[in-house]
Structure 1
């Protein structure tokens, strides 16, 4: 958002940007274009094309700093931002805060998630488990999403796509 000091995402800032979706009972992953990462709305629009009726997820990790999960099911969009304070520096995170109708964070706000901790509860990861995971300051965003992906059933594919499986 102009004038707020937020940084627009560049290719170098994006650790991963993937769509995860189920089709014929199997998980699939596809890369998302950089143009989809301008805002929660553009991300949801890009992910919506993968929704086969079982919902689709947009998984984005930025600068080893935070992640955003966007889940679309039909016209419904749900969002989870791993660190609300990222909105002070990154447009995508600021867009998530705006989408959620939250006030802009201030310098003394604590690091913490914003949005729907139950975003994938029906798929196998409950809100309490999600809260514990995103509160672990020792983990990087890709490690957190890897854990989520493993619980949902596509962990090995996520790790391969992001290079986490490399020795």
Structure 2
């Protein structure tokens, strides 16, 4: 069983509709409960892309995208599953193995190509997620910029 920590973080939905992006805050429960995050994302009615960007406790990020084929997920640091329920839930949904407690490595898990149609190839997303010199909010800002909603993302974070 993991220890549920809570602390600094944010949960944002980015919605592409009619060629433009808008960002809005998701319920804070999305930071601790994957089902809550997916439910919140599912409430957004649009014909375009919808992506949740979760920055959890300044430790890791989670990307969630609802697609016709199912829920697509990326966890920036699989080792976070040892300490955070939401990260463990992501690994469970991905059917990925839990990391070994003795493992000091960090690696991303999930569909790294989930943002490629939005301008962020899988290789670049993997590079961003694996950059241990960056905080998760900085990584998410890079992702937002690369996908074309950096200004909207920054404006929302400035208001939070």
TM (normalized to structure 1)? 0.87
Find the residue that maps to 2:36 and give its secondary structure: helix
- TM-aligned CA deviation for residue 40 of structure 1: 2.4
Q: Within 5 A, what are the aligned runs for 1:6-17?
A: 6-9=3-6, 13-17=7-11
Work out the CA distance in 1 between the residues paired with 2:31 and 2:59: 15
- TM-aligned CA deviation for residue 90 of structure 1: 0.7
Quick one: structure 1 residues 74 and 53, their matched pair in 2 at CA, closer, same or farther if it must change by over 3 Å? farther
Work out the CA distance in 2 between the residues paired with 1:103 and 1:24: 39
* Aligned position for 2:18: 24
Equivalent residue in structure 1 for 2:58, among 64, 71, 86: 64
TM (normalized to structure 2)? 0.91
* Aligned position for 1:161: 156
Q: How many pairs are equivalent?
A: 158
Work out the CA distance in 2 between the residues paired with 1:75 and 1:32: 23
* Aligned position for 1:113: 108
Deviations 1:8-60 (A, max 9, x none): 54xxx241111111122211111111233343232112112225122211110
Work out the CA distance in 2 between the residues paired with 1:51 and 1:101: 28
* Aligned position for 1:146: 141
Unaligned runs of 5+ in 1: none
Work out the CA distance in 1 between the residues paired with 2:12 and 2:139: 14
What is the RMSD computed on CA atoms of the aligned residues?
1.8
